[in-house]
């Protein structure tokens, strides 16, 4: 929760969840609801890599920013058209660069963005999706069973560092 008694050690929410994902401590699920005790399998968001065995599943990402985006974009205002993607690159010297794409169809951010829940999920309940059959794994994970979250962090558009860089289609 974002209760006053929670101390993030002077870090903002973005830095805290990036620390969690960089250390592989949780998977993430963004949702407009903030009060779920269990996440049920659904058909949204759709996985963009691999083929889940079922049409409904609990979707998670290993990248906190992608799930933060899904948490703050209103699926009703955007017609469930939100797209988030990250590609990880590493230079020969070992430097890491993440390239993100965030996109939704709808109106202005004042009508399409709102607070939502960023759920922290246990990795052992999920399996990763590969980029292509037999290929390397993507950042997307699925569970065919309901999942009990470790925690839910209420996140707002102000918590997300790239709201001024969204690509919005009419």
**pLDDT of 23-52, one tens digit each?**
999 999 999 889 999 999 988 666 766 666
CA contacts within 13 A on the Cβ side of 5: 0
pLDDT at 135 over 90: no
5: pLDDT strictly greater than 50: no
Kindly tell me if the per-residue pLDDT of 3 is higher than 50.
no
pTM of the predicted model as reported, rounded to 2 decimal places:
0.82
Torsion over CA of 139, 152, 100 and 70, rounded to 10 degrees?
100
Q: What is the dihedral of CA 56, 153, 9, 6, to 10 degrees?
A: -140
- Residue 99's pLDDT is 81
pLDDT at 80 over 60: no
End-to-end Cα spacing for the chain: 34
CA 122 to chain centre: 14
DSSP 79-100: TT--EEEEEEEE-TT--EEEEE
Rounded average pLDDT over 57-86:
80
pLDDT for res 104: 73
Q: Assess whether pLDDT exceeds 60 at residue 71.
A: yes
Write down the mean pLDDT value for the chain: 81
- Rounded to 10 deg, the angle between the 64-72 and 13-22 helix axes is 140
pLDDT band at 18 (very low <50, low <70, confident <90, very high): confident
- Residue 19 Cα to chain centre, angstroms: 14
For residue 45, cis peptide bond before it (omega within 30 degrees of 0): yes
In the chain, helix, strand, coil percent, each to 5? 20, 35, 45
């Amino acid at each position: 929760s974002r209760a006053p008694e929670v101390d993030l050690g002077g870090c903002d929410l973005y830095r805290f969840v990036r620390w969690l994902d960089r250390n592989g401590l949780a998977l993430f699920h963004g949702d407009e609801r903030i009060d779920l005790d269990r996440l049920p399998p659904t058909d949204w968001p759709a996985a963009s890599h691999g083929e889940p065995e079922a049409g409904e599943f609990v979707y998670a990402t290993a990248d906190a920013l992608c799930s933060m985006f899904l948490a703050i974009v209103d699926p009703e205002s955007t017609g469930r058209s939100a797209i988030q993607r990250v590609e990880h690159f590493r230079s020969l010297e070992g430097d890491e660069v993440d390239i993100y794409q965030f996109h939704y169809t709808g109106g202005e951010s004042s009508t399409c963005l709102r607070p939502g829940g960023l759920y922290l999920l246990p990795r052992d309940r999920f399996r990763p999706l590969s980029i292509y059959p037999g290929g390397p794994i993507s950042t997307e994970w699925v569970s065919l069973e309901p999942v009990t979250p470790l925690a839910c962090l209420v996140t707002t558009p102000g918590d997300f560092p790239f709201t001024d860089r969204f690509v919005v289609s009419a």
